[in-house]
Structure 1
Amino acid sequence: MAWGSVNSQFGTALLWHAKLKNVSPRLQLLENKPQRVLSSLDSLKLACSPVAPELRGRRPSENLGQCKAAVIRCDHPQNADLPRSYSKKEKKPFPVPIVELRRAARERFKNSKGQPRRPIPPPKNGLVVKSLTPLAYSVLNARITLINNLKKLLKVVPVQGCKWCNEIHVGQFGHPFRSCKGPTASIRKGEHEWGDAVIEDILVPIEAYHLYDRLQRRITHDERFSIPRIPALVELCIQAGVDLPEYPTKRRRKPIIRIGKSEFIDADESDLPDPETEAPMPRILTEIPDGEINPPSSAEEIAVLAEETLQAWEKMRKGAKRLMKMYPVRVCGYCPEVHVGPSGHKAQVCGAYKHQQRNGQHGWQTAVLDDLIPPRYVWHVPDVNKPLARELRNFYGQAPAVVEICIQAGAAVPEHYKPTMRLDIGIPKDAKEAEMVV
């Protein structure tokens, strides 16, 4: 008898046997060879989390009858992707989709039917949220501390900046990757020309119009030169309660009186008593001039300064994120223009993609934290004394420039930056070894 006919007869008999027992043929095969299946599952061992061990303490028939799948969990992610960079011909997505916003608005309108009208809470009624005023002072002081410390660290940690584009690199040697997109980049085949970087290359200056009254009418195109522009984060802190003599702002003691959707009048405050002396607010720090910067002298001072700088960076970002939840910040969907206030200005200065169709006006939408404080991502250098290799680009990670400077100065790596820095990846020694990696 031929071997093929034997296999066919055996398969037919197995099929009939499975039908009689109401079990699928595949499970019947597993039932005949339980030891082989168990050995393959036992050999599956991962570093992230163990496989569920329910199969070991039971009989093979019970395990195969329930058909439980092994679940693999990883509580420590790595190799996370960086935030997507959008091209100049692409509009930024809304933080919350329009469909979700409309659905939430319909739900609020449905729930408000038959209910008494609630008073408008601050800051929409013109008042300041007093509970967030100390936070605004803390964010402003953290920003000044960050600037002063970075000026000192730039004296001891080399930071390179390209002369033709806005790319920077932290290290003694500029990276060899051909990613320059500046003028004459095609002649240089995309290679960078490195020079010394400045503080503005690390902390991108984002400016906004200073509003004397945050509820005033929108700035027109003709007023764009008569209104001062200051750092957007400073304007956010001023609207949140920080008083700066050089940038006066209007403070109300009574809520506004709404006349229409966009019309209001100020309440009469003549009957109010004189304002009581409140508790003194924290003292606002001042920036150190460039000529008075004293760099740290020892390695211990550099490490302490790096830790303080990293704490100021995290404090500034976390505090700004809390303030943005209460005080709205707008950003153009086509360019990096930022406006701090309930609605964007009307200055027709947007020169981004298809600005002719919008008559130069900005496409305002809700801003996120990275729009207000953009992190400049740079390549993470595993070994400071060894330059990066062009062939091993896929094995290197990235981190914000402030974080990379502090790490090279001796600070500990924060947990939430480790996934993008790829610290758990073994970097090959050369290109030949990299080709062997699957």
Structure 2
Amino acid sequence: MASLGRRAGSYICSELCGSVLNQRRYSSSRVDWKPLRPMILKRIKSRSKEYPIKRMIPVAEEVVRARQIVTEGVSTLLNVVPVKSCKFCPEVHIGATGHEMKTCHGFKRMIKDRPHKWGPGNLNDILVPVQAFHLKEMFQDEIKHDQRFDFARVPAVLELCHQAGADIPDEVLYRSEQLSTAVRGNSQQPAPILPDQLRYIGQRTLDAWESLRLGVTKLLLVYPSKVCKHCSEVHVGPSGHKARMCGVFKFEGWKGMHKWKKAGVDDLVPQKIMWHRRPHDPPVLVDSGRDYYGHAPAVIELCMQVGARVPPKYHCMMKTHGLAPPIQ
């Protein structure tokens, strides 16, 4: 009786194993894709009908409003708070005089550990401009190299919001270059602003900055965007363009072709990280104390200078409760 049970069990196991193996073999090697090809091509062509997603349109409109508030707030604060930028590298410092740390690498990164040469800063030193091609349709053909001048360049955040369904006027979409030039060339003495008004502008700008980054993070979960692995070129769309503008491989085998990867919020809305001076630090940051000083995004540091409340998530980066450098 026991032997009969063992034979029945082995027979059932062999039948089950054979059916599983046959099923695996069928699913991996016997699928005929020819009948499915028309359906797949039709699905690819009709995917544009699903965009823009109606639930994401309010998010895109909120991002456009937050970006406008951040731009206006930073432009106003730059007339009150002194900002310095290095002439040979992207380093920025908020204060009457720049720091004395030797962290300059030059505009071609051919040197290192050199002192900075400070000059007056402008809007682009705080809000790093990120441009992208303005597409007529989200799922259009790839931009070829000889078509790169046929498409306008607009801020990448506005292009993302445009593809997400936000109604952006042309004077806002193409105003970025005019705004930076106007801020740089404005030498008139601004009207004095009361401290309470400055604190309100700083807090409003900081809150809008956080709302801007949060909204862009939400949009990137739905709308595809690409960034080059070797340069800062950004393309908003399902696939990158074919314009050969990558400077890393310009004279090598790649011939300036970009190598795309998925973009993040820091690629579209970069945080300009700068050194942060705490209350117990010396008036001028010196090179010997670089291991003790903290960092902060430039927008957060600018708003904090006029009394805005910094979110707790930045306290670790700023080393708020860290030790001061030893006195020499």
Asked if Structure 1 and Structure 2 have the same fold, meaning a TM-score greater than 0.5 normalized by the shorter chain, the answer is yes
Q: 2:86 aligns with which of 138, 162, 178?
A: 162
- Write the distance in 2 (CA, Å) between the matches of 1:188 and 1:358: 28
Structure 1 residues 359 and 230, CA gap change in structure 2 (3 angstroms): same
Amino acid across the alignment from 1:390: D
Residue of structure 1 equivalent to 2:242: 346
- Unpaired segments ≥5 residues, structure 1: 1-108, 248-286, 432-438
Residue of structure 1 equivalent to 2:293: 396
Q: 1:382 aligns with which of 278, 281, 292?
A: 278
- Write the distance in 2 (CA, Å) between the matches of 1:306 and 1:230: 27
Say which SS state the counterpart of residue 365 (structure 1) adopts.
Answer: strand
Amino acid across the alignment from 2:76: K
> Is 2:219 the counterpart of 1:323?
yes
- Unpaired segments ≥5 residues, structure 2: 1-26, 32-38, 172-178
For residues 212-264 of structure 1, the C-alpha deviation after alignment (integer angstroms, 9 at most, x for no partner) is 011110000110011101000010010011223539xxxxxxxxxxxxxxxxx
Residue of structure 1 equivalent to 2:327: 430
Query: What are the residue-to-residue correspondences of 1:77-226 with 2, within 5 Å?
Result: 124-182=48-106, 190-226=114-150
Amino acid across the alignment from 2:144: T
- Write the distance in 1 (CA, Å) between the matches of 2:145 and 2:133: 12
- Write the distance in 2 (CA, Å) between the matches of 1:185 and 1:347: 25
Residue of structure 2 equivalent to 1:405: 302
Larger deviation: 375-384 or 325-334?
A: 375-384
Amino acid across the alignment from 1:366: K
- Write the distance in 2 (CA, Å) between the matches of 1:319 and 1:120: 29
Shift of 1:386: 1.4
Residue of structure 2 equivalent to 1:44: none
Residue of structure 1 equivalent to 2:13: none
> Is 2:230 the counterpart of 1:306?
no
Shift of 1:356: 2.1
Residue of structure 2 equivalent to 1:418: 315
Structure 1 residues 294 and 238, CA gap change in structure 2 (3 angstroms): farther
- Write the distance in 2 (CA, Å) between the matches of 1:339 and 1:154: 30
- Write the distance in 1 (CA, Å) between the matches of 2:310 and 2:267: 24
- Write the distance in 2 (CA, Å) between the matches of 1:420 and 1:170: 17
Structure 1 residues 385 and 295, CA gap change in structure 2 (3 angstroms): farther
For residues 141-182 of structure 1, the C-alpha deviation after alignment (integer angstroms, 9 at most, x for no partner) is 111110111011011111110112111111122111111111
> Is 2:267 the counterpart of 1:371?
yes
1:152, 1:295 within 8 Å by CA — same for their partners in 2? no
For residues 291-313 of structure 1, the C-alpha deviation after alignment (integer angstroms, 9 at most, x for no partner) is 59956612111111110010010
Residue of structure 2 equivalent to 1:362: 258
- Write the distance in 1 (CA, Å) between the matches of 2:56 and 2:269: 19
- Write the distance in 2 (CA, Å) between the matches of 1:370 and 1:187: 26
TM-score (norm 2): 0.77
Structure 1 residues 336 and 186, CA gap change in structure 2 (3 angstroms): closer
> Is 2:160 the counterpart of 1:236?
yes
Structure 1 residues 418 and 430, CA gap change in structure 2 (3 angstroms): same
Percent identical among aligned pairs is 38
2:85, 2:121 within 8 Å by CA — same for their partners in 1? yes
Structure 1 residues 189 and 239, CA gap change in structure 2 (3 angstroms): closer
Say which SS state the counterpart of residue 326 (structure 1) adopts.
Answer: coil
Residue of structure 2 equivalent to 1:20: none
Say which SS state the counterpart of residue 169 (structure 1) adopts.
Answer: strand
Shift of 1:353: 4.5
2:142, 2:241 within 8 Å by CA — same for their partners in 1? yes
Amino acid across the alignment from 2:270: P
Amino acid across the alignment from 1:158: P
Number of residue pairs aligned between Structure 1 and Structure 2: 282
Say which SS state the counterpart of residue 74 (structure 2) adopts.
Answer: helix
1:178, 1:192 within 8 Å by CA — same for their partners in 2? yes
Shift of 1:362: 0.5
2:67, 2:209 within 8 Å by CA — same for their partners in 1? yes
For residues 70-121 of structure 1, the C-alpha deviation after alignment (integer angstroms, 9 at most, x for no partner) is xxxxxxxxxxxxxxxxxxxxxxxxxxxxxxxxxxxxxxx99xx9xxx99979
Structure 1 residues 151 and 233, CA gap change in structure 2 (3 angstroms): same
